Amino acid sequence: MISGFIFLFGLVIGSFLNVVIDRLPHGENIIWKPSHCDFCKKHLRWFELVPVISFLFQGGLCRRCHARLSWQYPMMEVVTGIGFVLLSRQFDVASVMFLAAIFVYSLFLVIFVIDLKHQIIPDSMLLLLLFVFIIVGIAFPTPDRFLHVVAGLGAGAFFFLLWLITRGKGLGFGDVKLVVLIGLFLGYPGTVFALYIAFLTGAIAGVILMITKHAKMKSRIAFGPFLLLGTLSAYVWGDSMWRWWMGLFI
């Protein structure tokens, strides 16, 4: 029962995240501007804003101009809902940590999609992440927090060097700032695993895009989504990866 309510809550939050994703890169008001069709600009009625159901009921089309809507909308809502349910099984839903976890997860999703679509990582999202990490770090201090700071600064320095060497063509400065926060979040050795997975999946995706002729050798590919995939993978499976890694040498 609780999981069902959390999933529905996630659908609603996912719907709001779609608004953030669509408006933030263009500097539009996120809160007060009424929802509208991106094509005909007509304001949407309440029954056109029901997460997932409205999209399916309308056949993925605008009810007025019949323009085809992006599958981003229901997918974001469902992914948010599923993520919230999974986090509810790791944290007490009445705890501050659960609220922090779903907030961070939501910010990750926004950064993921915006970088994928526009190849930018909004500073506002990074500042919110930093704020949450600082508050959680103060409220719930851990003995290894120094390693988290070192991991963040080390990862940031490494990416800053890559940014200088490639003159910003290999990766954007937003990636440099993002990886600092990833280091603060995961610490050591989680950050190492996250970067390894990010570079591996990024390379595989690049090769696939070139083979399918969706990208060329000099094409720039958003790296933020791969960093976030690596971060989530390291967070979920980091302990298992560390035990496997140590088993190779002990």
- In tens digits, the chain (250 residues) has pLDDT values of 788 999 999 999 999 999 999 999 988 888 888 888 778 878 888 788 889 998 999 988 888 888 898 999 999 999 999 999 999 998 998 899 999 999 999 999 999 999 999 999 999 999 999 999 989 888 888 788 888 999 999 999 999 999 998 887 778 899 999 999 999 999 888 899 999 999 999 888 877 877 876 666 566 778 999 999 999 998 888 777 667 666 665 5
Residue-level pLDDT at 209: 77
**Is the distance from CB of 101 to CB of 207 less than 8 angstroms?**
no
- Say what the pTM is: 0.91
**Is the distance from CB of 169 to CB of 137 less than 8 angstroms?**
no
Distances (CA, A) of 117 to 25, 59, 134, 227, 228: 10, 23, 29, 15, 15
Please tell me the distance from the alpha carbon of residue 102 to that of residue 81, in angstroms, as a whole number: 10
**Alpha carbon 145 to its chain's center:** 23
- In degrees, rounded to 5, the angle at the alpha carbon of residue 74 between the alpha carbons of residues 68 and 78 is 165
Helices 96-118 & 123-139 angle (0-180, nearest 10):
160
Please tell me the distance from the alpha carbon of residue 18 to that of residue 72, in angstroms, as a whole number: 8
